[in-house]
Amino acid sequence: MCSSLKGQYEISEEIGRGRFGTIYRCYDVVSGNPYACKIIDKSLLTDETDQQCILNEPKLMSLLTPHPNILTIHNAFEDQHTLSLILDLCLPLTLLDRLTASTVTPFPNACHVITQLLQAVSHCHRSGIAHRDLKPDNILFDSRDVLKLADFGSAEWFGGDGGSLMTGVVGTPYYVAPEVLMGREYDEKVDVWSCGVILYMMLAGAPPFYGDSAVEIFESVLRANLRFPSRVFRNVSPAAKDLLRKMICKDPSRRISAEQALRHPWILSGGESETAELT
Ligand SMILES: Nc1ncnc2c1ncn2[C@@H]1O[C@H](COP(=O)(O)OP(=O)(O)OP(=O)(O)O)[C@@H](O)[C@H]1O
């Protein structure tokens, strides 16, 4: 572990583990404030893509700081063997853990969760950054239950309005947008698709596109046949379904932006709207 890190932070117990690193609770030795410390073992970064992802993450996170719904990077330390990031400390349960544990659908506070996520994504897009791997596993909450978007390892700088298009198949089967799978150039709207899938999961308790293997899931995503089975959607308002159709829209040029989604009647009504006029 880096000696300058040891001088500034006291590392405490392990609170999580990823593919390349371990997350510890830590304390600033001067203020006593608690943080999370992600220590990445560089020897595990064997291929160039992994190295790129890990080095990308702190750079892009710093560009996005501060935003209340984006995990803040407070400090970074590097030596020959490790890269250590000092991050906001969050609760151990991700949105995926909460969804898995939930026995009720729609998921309580679905509108509040998606509003915070869209605020984070809209800030990323205004800053010229696409996250490209939005999924419930990357959504954390702090001790006040404020959503914190994490894991910018697959994020890409596209340069904002009129910026360049992106290429490359990145993302996770259930949440990836069809234009990514088609191998075409794409823009930041891929994130809106993933937010739509996350909202659908919160409202229905299941993903909109599924299959028994990654290939089957991809085929289902490519068909993009969005359905609202009445058994699971009977408690979901027409306004919420309208928003889902506009976010999980196969044609990215017709898909709404994160900013527009934040102005949708269902979001503005705090998820209560059954009768709001649809746009
Ligand atoms: N800032 C944080 N505060 C509290 N817990 C965290 C924090 N960051 C990550 N964790 C916990 O540690 C786990 C692993 O996080 P990490 O970001 O290393 O890996 P990952 O995103 O799950 O996986 P990978 O990087 O391998 O794709 C998370 O699932 C979460 O439970």
Same domain, 120 and 177: yes
- CA–CA distance from 84 to each of 10, 40, 51, 59, 203 (Å)? 13, 6, 14, 13, 37
Same domain, 166 and 67: no
Is 1 within a domain?
Answer: no
Same domain, 181 and 51: no
Is 274 within a domain?
Answer: no
Q: How far is the CA of 91 from the centre of ligand 1 (A)?
A: 11
Quickly state the pLDDT bin for 160 (edges 50, 70, 90).
low
Same domain, 124 and 80: no
Same domain, 213 and 241: yes
Segment 221-272, tens digit of pLDDT: 999 999 999 999 999 999 999 999 999 999 999 999 999 999 999 999 999 8
* Closest-lying ligand 1 atom to the alpha carbon of residue 93: 31
List the domain range (segments joined by +) for residue 62.
6-87
CB 177 within 8 A of CB 252: yes
Domain stop point among 87, 107, 126: 87
What is the predicted pLDDT for the residue at 276? 39
Segment 17-70, tens digit of pLDDT: 988 899 999 999 999 999 999 999 999 998 888 888 888 899 999 999 999 999
Same domain, 75 and 99: no
Domain with residue 130: its CATH number is: 1.10.510.10
- Residue in 79, 88, 133, 191 annotated catalytic: 133
Same domain, 148 and 191: yes
Give, using CA atoms, the residue closest to atom 12 of ligand 1.
16
Interface ipTM above 0.90: yes
What is the predicted pLDDT for the residue at 3? 80
Same domain, 149 and 26: no
Active site residue 47: no
Domain with residue 38: its CATH number is: 3.30.200.20
According to the annotation, is 6 in a ligand binding site? no
Same domain, 19 and 103: no
Domain stop point among 46, 71, 87: 87
Domain stop point among 71, 87, 103: 87
Q: How far is the CA of 259 from the centre of ligand 1 (A)?
A: 27
Domains held by the chain: number: 2
Give the distance, in angstroms, between the CA of residue 101 and the centroid of all CA atoms in the same chain: 19
* Closest-lying ligand 1 atom to the alpha carbon of residue 20: 26
